[in-house]
A and B are shown apart, each in its own frame.
Chain A
Amino acid sequence: MGVKVSLGVSLGAVLAIVVVALVGGEVSALQPVFGILVPYAAFAIFLVGFIYRVVDWGRSPVPYRIPTTCGQQKTLPWIKQNKIECPSSTLGVIGRMILEVFAFRSLFRHTKAEMASGNIVYGGSKWIWLGALAFHYSFLIIAVRHLRLFLEPVPFLINGIDLVDGMFQIGAPTLYLTDLLLIGAVSYLLVRRLIVPKMRYISLANDYFPLFLILGIGISGVLMRFFIRVDIVGVKELAMGLATLHPVMPEGIGAIFFVHVALVSTLFAYFPFSKLMHAGGVFLSPGRNLANTNRAKMHVNPWEYPVKIHSYEDYENEFREKMKEAGIPVERE
C-alpha cells in the first residue's frame, strides 16, 4: 500500500467513526447504544482479547535463551559484568525489565544513520525516546484522571493528580498539562512517520490508524472540556452506571461526548488485535525477559527426542561385501 492509501484508509476510518457517533449521539433512541452497549462490548473484547493474546504467547515454547545482549556477559572473575544490559540472574532481569517498561531503555539506545561526507555515520537520536515517554506517561495520567468519573467517593490520590496536572490554573476549567503533552507527542509521532522518508516507507495503515485514533480521542476530549461543553454531572452519572453495572442514560449530554466515547471504545476493541499489544508483549518478549545463562546452565529443548543415527561403522558392516566387490576401500576387513 502506498502512503496515500494507508493514510486515507486510516484517517477515513477514524472520521467515519466520528460521523457515525455524531449522528447517533443526536438521536435519543440510539444514545444507549453509543453510551452503554458499545462501551461494554468494547471493554469485554479488550479484556478477553488481551488475556487470549497473552496466554497464546505463554503457550509458545521458547526452548533456548535468546536475550539481546547489550553489555559484557558474566565471565572470568576479573572482567566486570554489565548486570543490567546482560543479566545472568533473575534480579538482573527484573532490573532490566523495570528499565524497559518504565523508562523505555531500548528506545534510548536508538541510533540514526546519516551520510556525512560520503561515509555512513551512526549517531544517537533521543527524540523518539523523548516523544514516546511523553506520550505514554501523559496517556497514563489522563487515563488515571478519568477515574474521577468512575469512582464515588473519588480517592485522594486522583484529586491530587488532577490538581498537579492543572497547576497553572489557566482558564476554567483549568488547562491540563498532560492534554497539551499528549496531543503534542502524538502529533510528533505522526509527523515523524510522514516526513522521514525511511519511516514513511515502512509505515502501514495499521501504524497510522492508532495515531489518528488517539489524536481523535485527545482532540474530542479537549473540545469537550474547553469549547463544546457537555453536562459533566450527566457524564458522571453515565460512567457510574457503567461501573456499578446498573447502566443509566441521562438526558442532555452533548453529541461530542458520544464521539469521544466511540473513539475510546474503538481503541479498546482494536487493542488486542493490533501492534498496541506491545503493552502486554513487552513482558513476554524473550529478548528481554531471559537471563543470559546460555553457557552457564544446560538448556534442554523440551521436545527433544533421541535421534536415530546410523554411524559409518554400521554402514560399513551393512555394505562391506558389496563395497569390496565394487573395489571401494573399507576400514575393517
Chain B
Amino acid sequence: MYDAWKILVGLAIFLGLFTFAFWMNAGKAAPVPEPKIDTPEIKKMAVKQCVEDKEYMRTTHMQLVNVWRDQALRDGNREFINQKGEKYVISLQNTCLKCHSNKKEFCDACHNYTAIAPYCWDCHIVPPEEPKEEPREESKGNES
C-alpha cells in the first residue's frame, strides 16, 4: 500500500467514529426506566386509567399535551372528551399532575433516558415532590 501510514490513520479515525457508541457504552446497558405510578391519588383509583389508554399515552402524550395547551390557552376551551366519550378538564397542574405527582419518578424517568428536555417547566412550576411541604404561594393561583 502506498502512503500506508496516512491511510491507516484515516481508517483508524473512521473506525473510531463509527464504532463510537460501542466503546462508549463498553458493553454495559443502562437499566430501562420504569416510570412509577404508585402515587396516593392513583392508589385510590378503582380502575387505574389515564385520560386515554396506556399505549396511546405512552407514545403520543406529548402531542396530546401540546393540543391541550393550544386549546386551553389560545382558544380558552378547557374541556377534553376522550375516545370513550369521557370528559376531563384540560389542565397540566390539576389533571395530569393530580395523579402523577411524582415528576422525578414518572416524567423524568423516561425523558432522561431518551434525552428529551420538554419545555413544560419553562412556564409551569415544578410541583413539590414531598406532599408534606407547604405549597408555595405562587403556585396557588396557577390553574393550568
Same assembly: yes
CA distance A47 to B15 in the complex (A): 7
Question: Can you give 6 A-B contacts (C-beta < 8 A)?
Answer: A152-B113, A230-B59, A232-B116, A233-B110, A240-B30, A283-B10
User: Which residues does B use to contact A, with CB under 8 Å?
Assistant: 1-4, 7, 10-11, 14-15, 18-22, 24-30, 32-33, 55, 58-60, 62-63, 65-66, 110, 113-119
Tell me if A207 is interfacial: C-beta within 8 Å of chain B. Answer: no
B21 to chain A, nearest CB (A): 4
Task: Choose from A51, A233, A246 the contact partner of B114 (Cβ within 8 Å).
Answer: A233
**A58-B7, A229-B60 as given contacts; A149 in contact with B114, CB under 8 Å:** yes
Kindly list chain A residues whose C-beta atoms are within 8 Å of the C-beta of B118: 172
Instruction: Say yes or no: A231 contacts B59, CB within 8 Å.
Output: yes
Least Cβ–Cβ distance between A290 and chain B, in angstroms? 10
Q: Which of the listed residues A152, A159, A232, A284 has the most CB atoms from chain B within 10 Å of its own CB?
A: A152
Are A54's CB and B25's CB within 8 A? Answer: no
Interface size grouping (class) on chain A: 35 or more
Q: B-side binding surface: helix, strand, loop or mixed?
A: helix
Interface-centre pick from B15, B26, B114 (highest chain A CB count, 10 A): B114
> Which residue of the partner chain, among B15, B21, B22, B59, contacts A229 with CB atoms under 8 Å?
B59
Interface centre among B18, B19, B59 (most CB of A within 10 A): B59
B21: A residues at CB distance < 8 A: 147, 150-151, 243
Residue pairs across A and B with CB atoms within 8 Å: the count is: 100
Name the CB-closest residue of A to B14: A50
Chain A's nearest CB lies how many Å from the CB of B113? 6
Given A51-B11, A231-B58, A284-B7: A243 and B22 within 8 A (CB)?
A: yes
- Least CB distance from A302 to B in Å reads 8
Complex CA–CA separation, A59 to B3 (angstroms) = 9
A233 and B33 contact, Cβ closer than 8 Å, known pairs A154-B115, A171-B66:
yes
Within the complex, which residue of B3, B11, B25, B59 is in contact with A151, where a contact is CB–CB below 8 Å? B25
- Say yes or no: is A62 at the interface (Cβ < 8 Å to chain B): yes
Q: Are A151 and B24 in contact (CB under 8 A)?
A: yes
- The answer to whether B63 touches A172 (Cβ under 8 A) is yes
> When the two chains form their complex, are residues A162 and B115 in contact, meaning their CB atoms are under 8 A apart?
yes
Contact A159 B1 (CB under 8 A): no
